[in-house]
Structure 1
């Protein structure tokens, strides 16, 4: 079955689940016989919630393991990626199976292992959601070939810092910390920041996100946070990992001031789709499309390089061109020519 067909089936199940208003399935109690893995994704999405255990989810995910490995970039080994997915499955057993599969394939297409370092797959109110961390954004910026390094950090109350946007880089921003102080002794966090150094040696604009700005983004754009607030459960990823999301928000703002690849822009869109509770797989890069885009960019760079070359100098004969002199006509010749005309 083609990956695009799998995507369509995933989206169909997510849409059907959302329209039916079916509540999130409850975790398995572990009692009773183990249910065999559904044969198809549709059966998995419509399975009895009480019997939806981690073992059953692992069973049907194993059936689509080939699609997951096909979605991985060529430089990645499938073993570590699949091991990270297996480790997180117990926490996703109450999620819609279709959402688990779409989050897994989305992570695979971006080449970000969901082990908590570059990305996570988390249970957001019964929906499995792929969430890239700030390290995931840094990884994709490095892959673009235009960024040499990215710095994401947090300024605390007892840190020394200077921020003067009108000054030339790198004098516009400095941040100094006292290594003798513990994290608690540094005081409350003031703002997160991010900037990038380019391969040519220049540095990007510094972006900053204070706590109020981070909370505003959370309140306006995170559907999982809003649902968790309304229900009183307060268990969304924003609730559990506010500082990590704060750092990620700063890293994501770099997309506005740094020349980034289409893959980074796609990651931003997939990240926002996850916050809105929409299908993320639509924004994840397709392996074939990514390869074609890379070839097109390489061809464009080659064409641009050829235009930047100096025009070839045409060969010239030694001594230069001979200057042709007009023929001189004698008086007798002029009389003879006049006689012929008459």
Structure 2
């Protein structure tokens, strides 16, 4: 019985249990259209299902809770391609792993849809054996043909993104070739980490490179950047709703030596790269 009690006590002191402790606070932060209970389940499941993430969260639970706060305010699902939770080494923590949240391409697409002006967002990767045609000024959108039944489409060579507005108009088309994506990747200070999405989910990061630039040309881009900056600038302990009675204040994060990696810093200038 003592062993069971000790196991429960240990579990209840872990980062997943801390999410449950602050359930009401997170529920107050998520936008009204987001199911708070489902959001909490995703956050808890992401940590309990990955030992590296759980250990990184234990190393500084305040940092972990702060990153979840950013996801909550943006209304994005933590531990998914909307909002990655990734372990990263921190010099301030003696090079131990801590949690870093990174908005994924699906998260940016969700924020674009949320503005209400866009009916469809197209973001696709182009591989070597695909057929891709697009002439700016002549074509309103690319023609991308894929041999879905071929054995191998080949390596990634490019990526593109555009939006169709609700009035039928087509936004600016963003096209990035391999060189341009690699330039964006080079600006990420986590690119060499085994946990970086650039190494664990490369195609998704190519897609993000394009859709981030698209966000400059559709109505949500300014809103998205304002919300990002606001969420990152707030002190982690500031909450929209007060804690429930008997609940301790949410732990404050320790100072990070690397404030904001290139993955989610200022957007790269939107441009067309043939």
2:54 pairs with one of 89, 93, 110: 93
2:215 equivalent in structure 1: 255
Aligned residue for 1:225, secondary structure, equals coil
Residue-by-residue CA offset, 1:98-135 (whole Å, 9 max, x unaligned): 11101111111111112424222221222312222212
Greater shift in the superposed pair: 259-268 or 159-168: 259-268
1:155 pairs with one of 114, 126, 129: 126
2:232 pairs with one of 280, 285, 298: 280
C-alpha deviation, 1:55, in angstroms:
5.1
Greater shift in the superposed pair: 243-252 or 119-128: 119-128
C-alpha deviation, 1:216, in angstroms:
1.7
Aligned residue for 2:126, secondary structure, equals strand
* Structure ranking higher in helix proportion: 1
2:201 equivalent in structure 1: 241
2:16 pairs with one of 54, 58, 68: 58
Q: Figure out how many residues of one structure are paired with residues of the other and give that number.
A: 222
2:156 equivalent in structure 1: 189
Normalising by the residue count of structure 1, what TM-score does the alignment of the two structures yield? Answer: 0.58
Q: Is the CA contact 1:54–1:89 (under 8 Å) kept in the aligned structure 2?
A: no
2:77 equivalent in structure 1: 113
Residue-by-residue CA offset, 1:25-55 (whole Å, 9 max, x unaligned): xxxxxxxx55958xxxxxxxxxxxxxxx785
Change (3 A) 1:224 1:282: farther
Rg larger for: 1
2:145 equivalent in structure 1: 176
Unaligned runs of 5+ in 1: 1-32, 38-52, 229-233, 271-278, 289-342
RMSD: 2.9
1:207 pairs with one of 156, 174, 177: 174
1:50 equivalent in structure 2: none
Normalising by the residue count of structure 2, what TM-score does the alignment of the two structures yield? Answer: 0.71
Change (3 A) 1:237 1:55: farther
Aligned residue for 2:207, secondary structure, equals helix
C-alpha deviation, 1:266, in angstroms:
3.5
Q: Which has the higher contact order (CA 8 A, sep 6+)?
A: 2
